[in-house]
Chain A
Amino acid sequence: MKSTKPSAIIADIVKYVILIAGALFTLLPFVWMVLSSLKSANEIVQIPPTMIPKKFMFSNYAEAWAEAPFPRYFLNTVFIASVTTVGVLLTSILSAFAFARLDFPGKKIIFSLFMATLMIPGEMLLITNFITITKLKWIDTYKAMIVPWLANVFYTYLLTQFFSSVPEALYLAAKVDKCSDLKFLFKIMVPMNKNAITTVAILSFIGSWNSFLWPLLVTNSTNMRVLSHGLVRFQSEAGTKYQLVMAASCILVVPIIVVYLFLRKYILEGMSYTGVKG
């Protein structure tokens, strides 16, 4: 922006117009969700659709809120997502370090086996895992929703790649200074790969936050259910109450926005590392 040449100004204008258009485009579904959540049952099915509701139906929020015990669902979701994330970070960091830096017999084979499991679609494991959980008598417990997700091969792989790119010299230098492996890992390796680790944490948290089928499979009581289960309560065999789904979605999205505001910097950096869509 320092340049004052006309051509540069025009280039800037074009750039910002495109950026603003892109931002609006990205924002539209969100705005649409908020506006739809305030429409009446009649207006939401109206064709052509209206943009701004004729009458703001704030009662949709009360109605959606009353349909399911959302506070309880919220606590469950936050708890499960947090514990899962902490757990998955721990296992991924430790195993990634082992694969990246340590030498042990069969390392390559074990790593290949790990990679091979990525080829198995999650749906295939669903029933198997479910039977395991049933045999352990973990149905309807937090354990059932957390433990199966405590190790993640993809995250391990991702971190292994990042850890491998840290120069070996650093590790050897630390060794010369009698630094233990664990100390090296947490004092040097982890801080150096802060962004990658944040990425894993965010991906894991979001994945856990959005998960639907597994928590539904392993729980039976309302007290153990999570937020995504609240959303399907507005669907029936013959149709969906969109205005209530939207109202509930708005409620659901608020905590995520708060988290985002705090972690904005890391999320942006993390996203650019993995190329994962926002």
Chain B
Amino acid sequence: MKMKRFMALAMATVMGASLLTACGGSGGTTSTTTAAATEAATTAAAETTAAASGETAAETTAAAAEKTIEPTTITFWHGMNNKQEQSLTELTEKFNAENEYGITVELVNQGSYSDLQTKLMANAAADTLPDIAQAYNNYFTDYVDKVVALDDFVANDYPDWDDILESYRTENSEYGKITGVPFNKSTYLFFYNKTMFDELGLEAPKTWDDLQHIGEVILEKKGLAAIGYDSMCDMLEAALRQHGEQYVDETGALFNTAGGLETLEFIMNMYNSGYARLVGEDNYFSDSLSNGMIGGYVGSSTGVSYISTDIEGKEFELGVCPVVGDKTNAAYNAGTNIVMFAKDENNQKAAWEYMKFMTSKESTIKWAMDTGYLPVRTSAYESDEYQQFMAGDITAQAAYEQAPYGFVSKASFTGSNEIRNVVSTTLNELITEKADAQTALDTLVAEINDVLQ
């Protein structure tokens, strides 16, 4: 009897303790941050600014002096599987074997992107983030203060930052500091059934009018939708940008304008006329294209490996072209960056060596040729090696063609994640209801502003 009583009490205590821990989270963070700052301040005592921005000052001193890095192990959390993981492992093993400082990078597979995102979030709360990790900008909106600012590393110890594609540099600076280096980059392209297009006398589209024409012809002759978009929220933002409009920022929707209405007129007309259709249960249009059930679709360049062009009785030639622009070109970039969380100064320096290595011309070429991701450097695109590879790869050619027009959604404000979901859901509903452009515009604007209130 006493034993039961004790057990009941013990359980109650455990429950109570776990509640306390929840409240203690922020307290723990503060204390470690202070510790790190103190440490950095000691190292860079000579610097007058040390007290204000401890870590930054320490880095500047270190980079200016001769570089010394103690042998250490760096943990890298990633979400790469299959051949991507293979290539990543090969590159990392090369780095581990060849770097002169005795740095070992340990790769830790954390499942898929969403698993990685959850893990990072939990570890940010527990203050146990890895040294570096793959991340989209919207992963760390809530804990951007834990991301190491790389500005000084880039300024002092990165010979050719301008060689990195501009859209990637912009993306990695959106928080007002450099938060990462671009890693596994892809872009949205238009994949189409070239056999069908040739048969109907259609060319790869170049303008919105072309898209509409293709839609009319394919619907009339084949009874099929001509176009689909794997990601609806990215489709909307791309279309707005193509039409010279803005999308969303922390103040709310920015496209409640004449141009915004024109954009939605175009979009809703495509869907309401049956020229475009929703993806439905499949999630990706690659299967539809493989089965000759759609003329073409806009999807990630990495999705090309999921298109089968040789299903019995349905063989076709695949065509790939840049996403069609209107007043200007705009194509959605996807793929993560490598972000640093390391607190220890030596680990930061070591991690930086790895980040430099992974984004070097040589590495990014190998990575791109192995995996179908895109090189992150202009010089890599222009190298003989990659040009040769590109000659035999229509996806890479199209990606190269639209490289200057890449963009990503603004992620550096609270609610950006939710807006992505809300916009996708709302667009799906509007299209299912065959809403007119004005209703679509009003509904979208209202839903977006709702999130931010």
- Measured CB to CB, the nearest residue on chain A to B287 is A45
Residues of A within 8 A of B311 (CB): 42-43, 45-46
The B305-334 residues at the A interface (CB cut-off 8 A) are 305-306, 308, 310-312, 314, 334
A131 touches B12 (CB 8 A): no
Query: In this assembly, does A222 line the interface, its C-beta being within 8 Å of a C-beta of chain B?
Result: yes
Q: How far is B122's CA from A175's CA once the two chains are assembled, in angstroms?
A: 51
Q: List the A side residues contacting B113 at CB < 8 Å.
A: 237
Query: Is A104's CB under 8 angstroms from B21's CB?
Result: no
Chain B, 269-310, CB within 8 A of any chain A CB: 284, 286-288, 290-291, 293, 299-300, 302-303, 305-306, 308, 310
- Say which residue of A54, A127, A238 sits within 8 Å of B125 (CB atoms): A127
Contact indicator A132/B81 (Cβ below 8 Å): no
Q: Which of B1, B5, B21, B84 contacts A131 (CB 8 A)?
A: B21
In the complex the two chains form, is A128's CB within 8 Å of B4's CB? no
Looking at the complex, which one of B11, B18, B300, B305 makes contact with A128 (CB distance below 8 Å)? Answer: B18
> In this complex, what residue of A is CB-closest to B313?
A46
Which one of A1-9, A77-85, A227-235 is at the B interface? A227-235
Q: Is B115 located at the chain interface by the 8 A CB criterion? A: yes
B-contacting residues, A78-129, CB 8 Å: 91, 94-95, 97-98, 102, 104, 106, 110, 113-114, 117, 125-129
- Is A130 part of the contact surface with B, judged by Cβ < 8 Å? yes
Cα-based distance from A104 to B126 in the complex (angstroms): 38
Query: Within 8 Å CB of B25, what residues of A?
Result: 127, 131
Those of A137-190 within 8 Å (CB) of chain B: 139, 151, 181
Contact of B110 with A by CB under 8 A:
yes
- Chain A residue at minimum C-beta to C-beta distance from B1: A102
Asked whether B108 is an interface residue with its Cβ less than 8 Å from the other chain, the reply is yes
User: Is B111 interfacial (CB-CB < 8 Å)?
Assistant: yes
| Dominant secondary structure of chain A at its interface with chain B | helix
Out of B7, B19, B284, B286, which one reaches A98, CB within 8 Å? B7
Question: Would A232 and B112 be within 8 Å (CB), given that A42-B308, A47-B287, A238-B303 are in contact?
Answer: yes
Determine the chain B residues whose CB is within 8 A of the CB of A271 once the complex forms: none
Min CB distance A117 to B, Å, is: 7
Which residues of chain A are near B112, meaning CB under 8 Å?
232, 235-236
Are A216 and B111 within 8 A (Cβ)?
yes
CB within 8 A of B15: which of A117, A222, A233? A117
Please judge, given known A-B contacts A217-B118, A221-B108, whether A236 and B4 are in contact too, CB under 8 Å.
no
| A127 and B122 contact, Cβ closer than 8 Å, known pairs A102-B4, A104-B8, A135-B21 | yes
Count, chain B residues at interface, CB 8 A:
56
Interface string of A30-52 (1 = CB under 8 A from B): 00000000000111011100000
Q: Is B30 on the interface with A (CB-CB < 8 A)?
A: no
Shortest Cβ gap from B85 to chain A (Å): 8
Q: Is B68 an interface residue (CB 8 A)?
A: no
**B49 interface residue, CB < 8 Å from A?**
no
CB pair B7–A95 under 8 Å, yes or no, is: yes
A233 touches B82 (CB 8 A): yes
Inter-chain CA distance A262–B17, complex, in Å, is 41
In chain A, residues 235-262, which have Cβ atoms closer than 8 Å to a Cβ of chain B? Answer: 235-239, 241
A241 to B83, CA, bound (A): 13
Taking the closest CB of chain A, its distance from the CB of B3, in whole angstroms, is 8
- Provide the bound-state CA to CA distance between A237 and B111, in Å: 11
**Interface of A toward B, CB cutoff 8 Å:** 41-43, 45-47, 54, 67, 91, 94-95, 97-98, 102, 104, 106, 110, 113-114, 117, 125-132, 134-135, 139, 151, 181, 213, 216-217, 220-222, 229, 232-239, 241
**Chain B positions near chain A (C-beta within 8 angstroms):** 1, 3-5, 7-8, 11-12, 15, 17-19, 21-22, 24-25, 75, 81-82, 84, 108-113, 115, 118-119, 121-123, 125-128, 186, 284, 286-288, 290-291, 293, 299-300, 302-303, 305-306, 308, 310-312, 314, 334
Please provide the 7 A-B residue pairs with the shortest distance between their CB atoms, ordered closest to farther.
A238-B303, A98-B4, A239-B306, A134-B126, A45-B287, A47-B291, A128-B22
